[in-house]
Amino acid sequence: MLWNNNATDKSTTSTDKGHITERYAEQYLTEQGLTLVDRNFHSRQGEIDIIMLDGNTYVFVEVKYRKNISFGGAIAAIPASKQHKIRHSITFYLHKAGLNEYNTACRIDVVALEGDITQPQVTWLKNAF
């Protein structure tokens, strides 16, 4: 995947890194056959990084990036409180989209990116929580 050389610039903010890694994850999932529905969906409870379709299943994706695994890596950076906020945001999204949360096939995936931001190691956890 090609990235702007500024991705490794020391002046890159954490927001910039978030956008870079979310686009990387989006492209990765698209290459795996998923279709983009929405990105950066905000609710009062929080944000859903990426919303995709895998066939007829809505996939709500949390993207986490860590340069190194010194403090547990990207997957360890999603505490129960964050999971709770994501679940509430999903419920809000489904209601806003006119979808029945009990009859709509959906899952929560995590795309964990670690290492060099221009070529990170990708771990895709389906049904993560």
Residue 75 in any domain: the answer is yes
Please state the domain count of the chain: 1
| pLDDT greater than 90 at residue 117 | no
Output the pLDDT for position 4: 46
CATH number at residue 25: 3.40.1350.10
Find the domain containing 51 and state its range.
Answer: 14-79+100-125
Tell me the pLDDT tens digit for each residue of 44-96: 989 999 999 999 999 999 999 988 776 666 777 789 999 999 999 999 999 99
Residue 51 parent element (H or E):
strand 47-54
Signed CA dihedral, 62, 66, 69, 70: sign only:
negative
Residue 7 in any domain: the answer is no
pLDDT band at 38 (very low <50, low <70, confident <90, very high): very high
Residues in contact with 9: Cβ distance below 8 Å, sequence separation at least 6, in sequence order? none
Output the pLDDT for position 61: 98
Residue 93 in any domain: the answer is no
State the chain's mean pLDDT as an integer.
88
